[in-house]
Chains A and B, each alone.
Chain A
Amino acid sequence: MNRRMLTGDRVYRIHWMPGTDILRGVCHCGAERVAEEPVELWEWLLAHPQGHQAPAAPTPTPQRQAVSA
């Protein structure tokens, strides 16, 4: 994987995953998506914030409710 070269606050990135045909788009907001061709991926990236949700933090396991017998 190549290094990050641009350091601004509003940088969009598309990584071509080595050994595959897959592109991975990463928005400055943290949202990510994979695609197989770049036009669709740019359209998704540039639609920020529409359809962008940062990778969800691990969902806390719901506390088991005590069930009385």
Chain B
Amino acid sequence: MPFARDQWYVAAYGSEVGRELLARTVLGEPLVLYRTEAGEAVALADRCVHRRYPLSESRLDGDSIVCGYHGFTYDQTGTCVFVPGQQRIPRTARVAAYPVVEQDSFIWVWIGDRERADPTTIPRAPWLADPAYTVVRGMAPLNARYQLLVDNLMDLSHETYLHGGYIGTPEVANTPITTEVDDEKGIVYVSRHMDDAECPPFYARSTGIQGRITRWQDIEFHPPCLYLLHSRIAPQGVYPPAEGPDSDAFHAEIVYAITPSTENTTYDFWAVARDFAIDDESVSEYLYQSNHTVVMQDVTALNLLEQVIASEPDKYQELSINIDTGGLAARRLLARMIGSGTVGAPQ
């Protein structure tokens, strides 16, 4: 599957990027990430122009990388400032520097024509850097193609079957959805509002609610990379007031950054931001462990699915039903970004 280039993607959490060199591959492009002494995040192509040695296996000297093989040295713009044994530095001795924006705890990189990089188009996930929320998060590398994780997250009915005992209850799969697509802004929104639902352990133990709940799941997908799940949990029958804060409900903002690494591998950045029990470390630990478990259930399933799909003919047959309405919309927007424009089976 081709990639959607000329887009912003999350390459790392800001906390992962420091004075150690970090290797990440985004859309098949190997990157090395680090932070200058002044604290600015940098992303360069992770291949020395000389003999292709990975710069991520090298070392920093101030704000420059010294190649660990022959000492070619690159500054933070990717310009080569030193070659061994001679004074003349060849004009072509430079590596690509990628536009980088650090925002909402993520390191976003632009993959494509750098002249087209506009930081104002990066979608926001403000809860991840808001002191009114407490965040648990992680990143799971996936041995499966990007599209499989998009399909997974756009249709939460799988929670009932794959994540029962954690976040899934019968009502998730049984509740109809409304799907909206803003064709100009390129956003898919999927609402599943459960008026009277069993409270899954994930929320029963973290909120303390006993008994049934009113549970809303509102997905906002900003393809290609940012997925937001606005999760509202309240005692059954408690709805937001007509005006003022929704203070009788618990809110979790569940954020995924879905970044293609290679054609068959994906970075699954996940975070759960909550506005309740924000100082309770035992709740943080519980939510971290539970969500990690849920993510790994997805990873196991999608890795398996990747093996199945990779072994099948290109034009394999699949079947879409009502629960897939949002996933189909996401596929269509992604296909448009890539350059084709079909709704049905993946290309």
Give min CB distance, B50 to chain A, whole Å.
50
Give the residues in chain B near A38, CB-CB below 8 Å: 320-322, 324-325, 328
Q: Are A8 and B182 in contact (CB under 8 A)?
A: yes
B 186-220 binary contact with A (CB < 8 Å = 1; else 0)? 01010101000000000000000000000000101
Contact of B179 among A9, A14, A43 (CB under 8 A): A14
A-B interface contact total, Cβ < 8 Å: 77
Q: Is the CB of A14 within 8 A of B178?
A: yes
Residues of chain B lying within 8 A (CB to CB) of residue A8 = 182-185
Which one of B178, B182, B218, B329 lies within 8 Å of A10 (CB-CB)? B182
Q: With the chains together, A43 CA to B325 CA distance in Å?
A: 12
Interface residue A33 (Cβ < 8 Å from any Cβ of B): no
B188 to chain A, nearest CB (A): 9
Contacts of B185 in A (CB 8 A): 6, 8
Are A12 and B181 in contact (CB-based, < 8 A)? yes
Q: Which chain A positions have C-beta within 8 A of B113?
A: none
* Interface-centre pick from A4, A28, A38, A46 (highest chain B CB count, 10 A): A38
Number of A positions contacting B (CB below 8 A): 27
Contact A5 B180 (CB under 8 A): yes
When chains A and B are docked, how far (Å) is the Cα of A37 from the Cα of B321? 6
With beta carbons under 8 angstroms apart, the residue of A3, A28, A41 that contacts B191 is: A3
Give 1 or 0 for each of A1-29: 1 = CB within 8 Å of chain B CB. 11111101111111111100101000010
Question: Across the interface, do B187 and A6 meet the contact criterion of CB distance under 8 Å?
Answer: yes
Determine if B176 and A12 form an interchain contact, defined as CB atoms under 8 angstroms apart. no
Chain B residues whose C-beta falls within 8 Å of the C-beta of A42 in the assembled complex: 325, 328-329, 332, 343
Closest to B322 in A: A16
B344 part of interface (Cβ distance < 8 Å): yes
Query: Can you name the residue of chain A whose Cβ is closest to the Cβ of B342?
Result: A43
| B177: Cβ under 8 A from any A Cβ | yes
- Complex CA–CA separation, A41 to B321 (angstroms): 11
State which of B189, B321, B322, B329 has its C-beta within 8 Å of the C-beta of A5. B189
Give the residues from 217 to 271 in chain B that come closer than 8 angstroms, CB to CB, to chain A. 218, 220
List of B residues within 8 angstroms of A67 by Cβ: none
The docked-state distance in angstroms from the alpha carbon of A15 to that of B176 is 8
B183 and A37 within 8 A (CB) = no
Q: Across the interface, do A11 and B325 meet the contact criterion of CB distance under 8 Å?
A: no
Given A2-B193, A5-B191, A5-B218, residue A16 in contact with residue B177 (CB < 8 A): yes
Q: Is the CB of A11 within 8 A of B180?
A: yes
A-B contact pairs, 16 of them (CB 8 A): A5-B189, A5-B218, A8-B183, A9-B184, A10-B183, A11-B182, A13-B181, A14-B178, A14-B179, A15-B176, A15-B178, A21-B322, A37-B320, A38-B325, A41-B325, A42-B325
Given contact pairs A8-B183, A37-B321, enumerate 20 new A-B contacts (beta carbons under 8 Å).
A2-B193, A3-B191, A6-B182, A8-B184, A9-B184, A10-B182, A11-B180, A11-B182, A13-B179, A14-B325, A15-B176, A16-B177, A28-B183, A38-B321, A38-B328, A39-B320, A39-B328, A39-B343, A39-B344, A42-B343
B interface residue numbers (CB < 8 A to A): 176-185, 187, 189, 191, 193, 218, 220, 320-322, 324-325, 328-329, 332, 343-344
Ranked nearest first, the 4 interchain pairs of A and B with the lowest CB-CB distance are A16-B176, A2-B178, A2-B191, A38-B325
